[in-house]
Each structure stands twice: as structure tokens, then as C-alpha cells.
Amino acid sequence: MRERLWELMVKADINVRYWKSYEARVMWMEKISRLILISASVISVLAWALEKTYLPAATAISAFAAFVALVVVPSFGLEGYSSKVEAIRHRWIEIRDDYEELWADLDNGEAQSWEKRFQAAQKRDQSLEQGGLWAPESKKLICQAQTDSERVFVPRFFS
């Protein structure tokens, strides 16, 4: 049982790390798309202000800004996507915390209540996996999660 709980705890930690880095990438993409829209809008307004000299440039920039706003951003689904990714990461944090609590209570609690909590945490874990919301295989993430978990939890593993 200890080994299974250890594997699940490390897997949950890997998923938390993955979704955290993915969330950062999504937020970066949102910022870049907003920056492009703002820049294009400002440049087109400046070009219109300078009247006929830069009229073709203003028209092209306005068209580009409209294209980005109406086609590119919705097609990537960037609006509100970071909040969805954040919600997934928080669900994995909850699962990881449940496993860590179970690890701490491994030798202390009643076997029956501990088993029920373990099964409930496993069920939530499996529901995320079945929804395709798990981290892809990454040796770097696995090494980081195992090293950090061993630093904190291994003394109890062998006691």
C-alpha cells in the first residue's frame, strides 16, 4: 500500500508541475496576443491621425488588428483558457494534498477510514486521467517530483 500511495503522490506532483508550466505558457500567449492587438490599434490610430500620408499603412494595420481580434484569438481559444488550465492545476493540487495527508496518516489513522479516503482520492485522480487531463511523460518532471518528494517524505517511508 505504501508503494502504491508513493507512486500516486509522485504522479500527482508531476501533474501539478506540468499544469503550472502549461498555465504559464498559456498566460504568455494571452499576453502576446493582447500586446499585438494593443500595438496594432495604437499604430493604426496614429496613422489615421497623421492623415493621408500613412493612410494605406493605417488601413493595413487596422485590417491586421481586426483579423487578430476576430479570427486568431478565438480560433486558438485563448479567451478564458488560462482560467480553465488554472482550474485543472488546482484540482491536481487538491489530489496531491489528499495523498500527502494520507501519507502522513498512514500509520496513525483507522484502517477503514484511511482506506475510504484513499479510494476517494484515487477516484478523483482517475476521473482527471479519464478526461485526458494528465501530464505527458517527462523525465525532467519525474526526476524533480521524485527528488522533492524523497526530500520530504522518505524518512517516513522506511520507518
DSSP one-letter string for 92-152:
HHHHHHHHHHHHHTTTTS-HHHHHHHHHHHHHHHHHHHHTT-SPPP-HHHHHHHHHHHHHH
Contact present, 33 and 78 (Cβ < 8 Å): yes
Cell numbers given for 34: 493582447
Whose CA is closest to 71, among 36, 24, 31?
36
Contact present, 26 and 144 (Cβ < 8 Å): no
Domain containing 35 equals 2-157
Mean pLDDT by 10 residues, the chain (159 residues): 82 84 83 78 71 69 73 65 83 88 76 82 81 66 65 50
Look at the block and give the residue holding cell 505558457.
25
CA-only gyration radius of the chain, Å: 24
Look at the block and give the residue holding cell 481580434.
69
Q: Which pLDDT belongs to residue 157?
A: 47
pTM exceeds 0.85 for this model: no
Query: How many domains, in total, are found in the chain?
Result: 1
Length of the chain: 159
Q: Which pLDDT belongs to residue 31?
A: 81
